[in-house]
Structures are given as structure tokens and as C-alpha cells.
Structure 1
């Protein structure tokens, strides 16, 4: 089958590789343009771009496509059977959605209609959902509103982190989109009930609000690492929290209860397991506190 693949981050790479390995003719790969990265701020291709180059596939990196008639014409000229989209990062306009013979299929990292939008993996963990999954849907102009072709669920455990769920869903998406292309299952409209939205994650979302229950903060630590990461203020330093767990304890929110250390929350306490000080390597919390005072009774922000 002659396809275009449209994706940008690590999440999309297994699907691209699976489509190529299955013998589909990948006419073109679309990815976000290279952007400055690293200490030297050198222009760096995104993961899908790099994977496409490794596979010897042609790559296009338009900065925008919504109102670019030339890009619409170039896409239509590919003569596609289908386009597969996975976390591409640009909204496709009607001329591009309609160009492939079988339309555009999206690999979405949630069980639609729950968690439409930009950050469904993080949203599912933050909400305490018991499961997440992959939905293969046929794209429309609306935000993740298209009819569904296939779904597969995966449980979210009490210690599941975003990287773990990300990798599991990425592998499922690669497998499921191959099935969708091979089987061409009937499209089922999304139910109107149960729609939720997962907005973009901002850096400030990582600040721990100690007035919240410890369970909510534990979910936040698991959901927002590695990016933007969770953090709190201890004196003049911003301390990153890389791992934590719910613990027993009570006190004014933000109060250090002991050297474990446990921090009092709006309900219960949070035991800090792994921390990182500015300019230092990540370490076990006990090792960090050997060189940084966080005494019982201190209040963190």
C-alpha cells in the first residue's frame, strides 16, 4: 500500500518502522522541522525525521500546512492510498485529509472519546484512570473526533509512569495500525458521552501544590516526569522530584515531617524517593539530604 507517514516524536517511530518493515511503500515522511537543541543549540531533526533518514525515506518538514496550497498540491501528487498520522503536531486541512484514497488514519494514545487532545498519556495518569490504550481513528477536521476503527486497552498500575505507558502505547500503536491497514475494519462513530480533553502541558504544571492530597501529588510526579518534571522550592533552591510515594502522616501542608523525608500534604504525606538539586546529578533523596538541610519542621513551597 502506498502511504505517507506523518509524525514527529519518539512515540511515532515504532509505527514508521513497522510500516516500512511490513513492505508498505512509504512515499514520503512528514515531520516537524529541525529545531535548536542541546548546549550548542544546533538545528536537530526530530526522532521521526532521523528514523526516516535511517530507512532511506524522503522527508518533508513544512513549518505549517493549514493554508499552504503548494503543500496541499504536493501531498495530493503523491497518489496515496492512505496517510498514517501519529503525534505529528500540525493540524491537517480538508484538502490533505481528503487526498489519500482511504483517508488519513490517526494513532491516538487514549481510549477515545476519553482524552482527546495533546497530552492524553499524562492526563490519564493524573486523573487516576485504571486503563489507557490506543485508538486507530479516521481523521476529520475536528480535534480527535473521527470515527474509530480499532481499540486496544492497557492497564495503568499504581506505580505506572509516563515513560512506561508511553512505550507500551507506542508499541501497541505500531501493531494496531498494521491491522487497520490489513483488515480495513468498519468505522464506528465516537459516542457523545464521556468526552474529555487533555490540554498541553506547561512547565509550571510541574510545581507541587502541597495543599493537594498526597495521592494527587504522587500521580503528578509519575505523570510529568521526565518533562516538565515536578519540583518544589526549598529556600533559594528549586528541587526536582523524580520519584515519590504516598505515605502516612499529617501536618500543615508543605511541612517536612521527618528525615525520610515525608512532606505533609492536604491529605496524607508524600515520601520523596529521588531528587535532583540544580546543577547536580539525580540521587536518592537520602543522599541528597546529606549535603542539603531539610530538617523536620521546615516548610517547603
Structure 2
């Protein structure tokens, strides 16, 4: 089939590569290059770079509400468009242009965790499982009927980074299967069980040691690697990027043997942390030559 691919971050790249191996990708739409790095030079998105490596035409419109942009999209004559974390709202004229419409790869089992941050929210909430859903897109926010889904357990050691990579691969496999079997019947999403995965606010990242250890552990793993749960250690803000719940007790914030911290109930063992201006380091390496205070803020 002739496919338009629309995506931007690293999460989208495996799906593009998998589709391009089996179908004709007539164009890739992605966000325009953004200033990044010390020199603030425009940097193409991961999807942009992957598309160029595959020899596929790349388009980077700032918006799709312009009639000319919509006409250019329709002129591609695609059978279907696949959308994966693209970053722009698709007007109805764009949704209707491909013969089989627009399909979205969403990183949750819909209708749970519609919206911007489904992977983070699933870990933060303590969900036992999550997955990917292939949805027929419509005007509402992730409200369209579902063509297929795949599930995976959320392990006690999963971070947003590890779950992101697993779901990215699952989405790539699932969309290829769906494209091979189109047209498919889709099931409407139920009204019960709808939740919204609001974008992560940096204010959510500071650790409150009075909370129970399981909640703090999920906060650390759910916000890793970005934006990174953090606490005050002396006069320094330190990101905690991986942890485990352990037996232990003490006043909230008290440092226990090793890089273990007492919580409102129980304790967490910090496994990976990042000091300001430095790379993430395993806790044992971080503690060499760096003495922790008796209590963290």
C-alpha cells in the first residue's frame, strides 16, 4: 500500500522502519528541526533522520490547518496514514484524505490513558499492565475505535525508558500486522474506564519523602529518564532515576546504610542517580568520594 507516515520522536522510528520494509511510504511528516545543543543549531527529529536514511521524502509543515498544506497532503493519494507521536492536531480534512483514513499507534490499552503521557502515567499509577493500541483516528482526543491491541506486564523494575522501548517495538510489529490485514473491523471504545494521561508537569518531579515507599519508587521509575524525580541533597538538586522498595524505617528522608532513604512507610534503595551537570551513575559509583548527609530534603 501507499502509506503516509507521521511521527517525530525516537518512539516512532521502529514503526517507520517496519512499514517501509513492507509498503511504499510516499512521504514522512514530522516536526520541523528545533534548536538544540550548546550551539542551539536546528536539529532534525529522529524520524526526520530515519526517513532520510531510507530515502523517503520528508515534509515539515508548521501546521496542517492551511488549505494548501491539506491539498498537498491529499495529493499524495495515499491508501492510509500512520500517526505515531507526531505532535500536531490533524484537521478533519487530513483525517479524511487517505482512502482508509488515519491510524494511530497509541502507547496504552484504550480507553485508559488517552492523551500525552500514557507511559509515565501507567507506571506512576501502579498499573499491572499496559500495551499498544492501533486506533482509527477521529476528531476527539484518542477516542477512535480500536482495530488491534497488544499487552505487556509492567514489571517492578520497569522505568519509563524501558517500557518506552518495549512498547515502541510492539507498536511497530502490530501496525505491520494491521496494515497487512486492512480493511479491518474496529471496536468502539467503551465509555467505562476512560482516564487521561496529562502531560507531565515538572512540579510533579520533586520527591516528598513522607509518602509511602511504593509511591516514591513509582515516581522515580515513572519519571525516568525525563523529567527525572529529584530531591535536595545538601545544596544540590539530584535526580533519582532508578530504585527498589526495600525493608527499612526511619524519619522520612533519613539516609539508611548505602543509598537507601526512609519514606513515610518503608524505604527505597536508589540504584541510579544524576548530579547536576553530570551523567547518570550507578549509586555505588556515585557514593565514592561523596558523603551523603544524614537526611535528604
Coarse TM-score class (shorter-chain normalised)? over 0.9
What aligned pairs does 1:268-279 form with structure 2 within 5 A after superposition?
A: 268-279=266-277
Deviation at 1:250, TM superposition (A): 2.3
Residue-pair matches, total: 296
Change (3 A) 1:251 1:41: same
CA offset digits 1:174-230 (Å, max 9, x no partner)? 111112112122011001100111111133322212121111111111111111112
Q: Work out the CA distance in 2 between the residues paired with 1:287 and 1:170.
A: 31
Give the deviation of 1:275 after TM superposition. 2.2
8 Å CA contact 2:205–2:223 kept in 1: the answer is: yes
Q: Among 165, 168, 172, which residue is 2:166 paired with?
A: 168
In 1, Cα distance between equivalents of 2:117 and 2:253: 28
Deviation at 1:279, TM superposition (A): 2.7
Give, in angstroms, the shift of residue 254 of structure 1.
Answer: 1.6
For residues 62-97 of structure 1, what are the alpha-carbon distances to aligned partners after superposition, in whole Å with 9 as ceiling and x for unaligned?
1222x3111111111111111000010111010100
- In the TM superposition, residue 114 of structure 1 has moved relative to its aligned partner by 0.6
Pair 1:209-2:208 in alignment: yes
Residue of structure 1 aligned with 2:154, choices 153, 156, 161: 156
Match of 1:91 among 89, 92, 110: 89
Q: 2:99 maps to what in 1?
A: 101
1:2 and 2:8 correspond: no
After TM superposition, the structure 1 stretch with the greater mean CA deviation from structure 2, 200-209 or 278-287, is: 278-287
**Which stretches in structure 2 are left out of the alignment for 5+ residues?**
none
* SS of corresponding position for 1:18: helix
- Alpha-carbon distance change, 55 to 113 in structure 1, aligned in 2, over 3 angstroms: same
Determine if contact 2:159/2:242 at 8 Å carries over to the other structure. no
Cα distance in structure 2, aligned partners of 1:145 and 1:84: 16
SS in structure 2 opposite 1:135? strand
1:142 equivalent in alignment to 2:140: yes
Q: Is the 8 A contact 2:106 2:134 kept in 1?
A: yes
| Aligned residue number for residue 299 of structure 1 | 295
Please identify runs of 4+ aligned residues in structure 1 that moved more than 6 A.
none
1:250 corresponding residue in structure 2: 249
Shift of 1:118: 0.6
Give the alignment partner of residue 113 of structure 2, picking from 112, 115, 129: 115
Partners of 2:19 and 2:145 in 1: how far apart?
Answer: 22
Distance apart, 1:28 and its partner CA: 0.8
Per-residue deviation, 1:271: 1.6
Structure 1 unaligned spans of 5+: none
User: How far has the Cα of 1:253 moved from its partner?
Assistant: 1.8
Q: Equivalents in 2 of 1:59, 1:283: separation in Å? A: 37
Which digits, 9 at most, give the CA deviation of each residue in 1:243-265, with x for residues without a partner? 22112222332222x23132121
SS at the partner of 2:254? coil
Structure 1 distance, partners of 2:201, 2:55, is 35
Distance in 2 (CA, whole Å) between partners of 1:165 and 1:275 is 19
Q: Which residue of 2 aligns with 1:131?
A: 129
TM-score normalised over the length of structure 1: 0.94
Partner residue, 1:32: 31
